[in-house]
Amino acid sequence: MIERILAVGGLTLVSRLTGFIRDIMLAAFLGAGPVADAFFVALRLPNHFRAIFAEGAFNAAFIPAYARIREQGGTENARVFADRIFTLLLLSQIVLLAAALIFTPGVIAVLAPGFRDDPERYALAVELTRITFPYLLLVTLVTLYGGILNALHRFAAAAAAPILLNLSMMMTLVLAAFFPSAGHAAAWGVLLAGVLEFALLAGDAARAGVLPRFRWPDFDADVRKFFRALGPATVGSAGVQLALFADTLIASFLATGALSALYYADRLNQLPIGVIGIAAGTVVLPEMARRIAAGDEIGAARAQSRAIELTLLLSVPCVVAFILVPDVIMRALFMRGAFTAADATAAGHTLAAYALGLIPFVLIRSVVATFFARGDTKNPVKAALSAAVVNIGFKFLLVGTLAQVGLALATSIGAWINLLIVLWLAARAGLIGFDPALRRAVVKIAAAGVALGAALWLGNLAAGRYLHDGVALGDVVRLVLLVAIGAVVYGGVVLALFGRQWLKAFRRPAAPPL
């Protein structure tokens, strides 16, 4: 399982790295002005709906159901189930797309009301959203295909698909002179990416012999059970996305550039979340579902513990760096073209606020797997909705004094609330227990993180004497030096505390089902 997590994480890392290049180009072409703000609203809307109806809720309900049906009922029953869900998903997305295209002006007025006082941003946001929103239909089908493939332990295509989004946007940005604006170029790149991702996943599903086809839906017991799980999962995802909608709504009233600062900070924060947290959750969910369906509860718990251990090991360096040197990171990566030093400072402060919640962000997918693998989507929903209420409350409380940094800090507070409630519910139900190996590993990883923090703090002080802030090449050299120092110190401390044998044991697969 660990090898599959690393494989998915590796592809996701490629996706995030190409995403950084894409964001560097976005910063250079769009900067942090009105065109950038309008585009990021247009990008957020289909992504919010995708997270609600597709990736978040759908995967939580579909993958355990598909794995259970295939394990207990055979391949043909699983095929029929997938066909029926595909048909229902396609029809619902067509209706949603039609409504979104018709009512786009009203949607923008509700979700970004601050734009109504700025006719330029409002009109542009409406126009760009009508270009990007069809991406939702395509990527929803991509999510279905990816869920089927993940249940079969075929993770590569789904993990690689986001790379196409980055490449297509980079290509259209290079050709921005042929579009009305750079925002239009980026929006068309999003739509093109949906077509390419659909082709990639459909092709892989066809090669695996599991490509769904249109089949008139029959609401049999399996489909009804799926919707009973999907309903609470959708409500939970909607709660999380409601908090993100609140970011867009509130930030639309802030000074120009606040939405862009949130975007660039969130993009960096999403690197460990995607490469580590989501990769681990993607692999551990079907692994636990399969083992539980086979009656191997001990193996399922062991798989979850090892996923949490790996997640913490890889995410702690990101937490430390994002909190201690966010300004250096932002200047080195984005400060060029239309993206100024002031923009980098604002985004850096926002990144540090996001980083305070990075640990729960990366852990939550692996922790909630203990519920989702058993078909329980209700308990995670309770946690997600409670956290969303706290999150939104803190947004209104903090935005007045901290602007977009307050929005990011509220998001981090909500993430901790979500994780703690999920852990409490799981422990109360006897569905989670941290074995001694995990507890020892947590202490050692924390010690390695403290050593890394000291090294980065001292290294940044020393580098600041010779490499001045705001000098493009100097910022890049400074970041490279800090990365090198951090890698040596953190890697050395981890090796000293754990030893080589720990790494070998950690890579050893969990015991097979009984």
The residue extents of the domains of the chain are: 2-507
pLDDT band at 279 (very low <50, low <70, confident <90, very high): confident
464-493: average pLDDT: 83
CA distance 119 to 390: 33
pLDDT digits (tens, 9 = 90+) for 58-107: 777 787 888 888 878 888 888 999 999 899 889 988 998 898 888 888 87
The whole-chain average pLDDT of the chain stands at 84
What is the Cα gyration radius of the chain?
22
> What is the separation of C-alpha 392 from the centre of its chain, rounded to a whole number of angstroms?
19
Q: Provide mean pLDDT across the span 239-266.
A: 79
Average pLDDT in the 342-359 region? 92
Mean pLDDT (whole number) for 44-49 = 72
pLDDT confidence of 506, banded at 50, 70, 90?
low
The residue that leads in pLDDT, 38 or 442, is 442
Q: How far apart are CA 354 and CA 408, in angstroms?
A: 5
Residue 505 has what pLDDT? Answer: 56
List alpha helices for 50-133, DSSP H. Answer: 57-73, 75-102, 104-111, 119-132
Residues 6+ apart with CB under 8 A from 300: 287, 288, 291, 292, 370, 373
pTM of the model: 0.71
Give the HSE-up count for residue 253: Cα atoms under 13 Å, Cβ half-sphere: 12
- Residue 512 — pLDDT band, cuts 50, 70, 90? very low
510, pLDDT greater than 50 = no
Task: Give the tokens for residue 142.
Answer: 């991509």
* DSSP H helical ranges for 356-435: 358-372, 378-402, 404-428
Q: In this model, does residue 316 exceed pLDDT 90?
A: yes
The answer to whether the beta carbons of residues 27 and 337 sit under 8 Å apart is yes
In which band, very low, low, confident or very high, does the pLDDT at 238 lie, cut at 50, 70 and 90? Answer: low
Which two tokens mark 259?
């939405």
Quote the CA–CA distance of 175 and 177 in Å, as a whole number. 5
In the predicted structure, residue 145 carries a pLDDT above the cut 60: yes
